[in-house]
Every structure is written in C-alpha cells, then in structure tokens.
Amino acid sequence: MFEHPVLAAFYRRHGPAPFAPNPFPQRPPFRVLAESVVAQQLSTRAAARLAERLFRLVPPTPKAFLEAPLDLLRQAGLSRAKALALKDLAAKAEEGLLDGLDRLEDEAVVERLTRVRGVGLWTAEMFLMFGLGRPDVWPVRDLGLRRAAARLFGVAPEALPAFGEAFRPYRSHLAWYLWRSLSSP
C-alpha cells in the first residue's frame, strides 16, 4: 500500500490507519468535537472515561448541551473551562458553524473551528483526522506524537515539521502509527 518503508512496516504491524474521507459518518461533528475538547491535556484512557461519564449525563447533541446546567457538566468531571467551551461549541453548532465542514479545505476548517472558545489548533487537527478522516494532517504540537517520534526516530520537536514532509500525503497515517507505537512493546 505505502511506498515509504516506514509506513509499510507500520501498516504490516498495526493494520490500516482509519483515514479516508468521512470514515466515521455515524459520528456527528458535534460529538467528535466534544470528545476532542474533553480529551485536551488528558491521556486517551482518562479522556474516554470522562466522555463516557459526561455523555451518560448529557446526550452529545448541541441542544442537550445548551439546555444542560453548567453544574451538571462540572459534575461529570469537566473543568470550568471545558464546560464553558462545550457550551460555546453547542451554541455555535446551533448557529450552523459545523455545517458543511466536510466540503472545506483543512485551513478553512481550522479557521472556522478555532472561533469556538477552547478550540485551538490541536482540537481542530484532531477533528480533521478523526471527524473528517483527512489523510494528511500532521499535529506536531501533540505530546504523544512528539514522544513517539523522539523515541523511534530521534526527532526533536522543532524538527517534526520537516520530518513529516517525507510522509506526505499520509501524515495522518504516520501520526496514528506513532500513537500506536506508544502502547506497543
């Protein structure tokens, strides 16, 4: 599948990465973004537990989050900042901010999403990858990606942008494989 020997080796070890246009059509954009907000600065496992607890209390829809009291979001374990970010995301989603994202270029998606309180570049990049299935996103600010690239390839954080160039147009795949390597022996 891949001509690059590193990606080919990762593919053989971990199987195909989940990136193709709209690979998660059953997951609405609001839910994917809400999960990304919850996941900010948390381990994957902690983020999954927190999102599960949150979505048991409040269904992952803009309307439900708009109607939910801030205290309820806090009871789920969210920080005040994340609770306010999710409220703002819900309000902007109701206004149409998430409509048509799949038809926009990556930069336009990032520009639109970063209008939401608490949504920065990392969250927008995670949405591009896991919400829209974009195959060539390279989230160089991600701590896990930085750790894996340093461990496997000796790449310093400041060298990650250049390192990723060799893997175009499959940098999302490389990021996914690097994350998998963190939990592999």
13 pLDDT band, cuts 50/70/90, is: confident
Q: How many CB atoms lie within 10 A of CB 81?
A: 12
Both tokens assigned to 20: 């193709």
43 pLDDT band, cuts 50/70/90, is: confident
Does 166 have pLDDT greater than 70? yes
> What is the reported pLDDT for 154?
94
> What is the reported pLDDT for 26?
63
Does 12 have pLDDT greater than 80? no
DSSP letter for 66, please. H
Cβ-proximal residues to 146 (8 Å cutoff; 6+ apart), any chain: 140, 157, 160
Separation of alpha carbons 4 and 15, rounded Å: 15
pLDDT tens digits for range 76-121? 999 999 999 999 999 999 999 999 998 999 999 999 999 999 999 9
Both tokens assigned to 22: 């709209």
> What is the reported pLDDT for 131?
87
In the chain the domains, ranked by start, together with CATH numbers, are 5-23+138-182 (no CATH), 29-132 (1.10.340.30)
The reported pTM is: 0.84
pLDDT tens digits for range 113-159? 999 999 999 999 999 998 888 999 999 999 999 999 999 899 999 99
Of 20-24, 59-63, 64-68, the least confident: 20-24
> What is the reported pLDDT for 180?
87
Separation of alpha carbons 69 and 182, rounded Å: 37
Contact between 145 and 159 under an 8 Å Cβ cutoff? The reply is: no
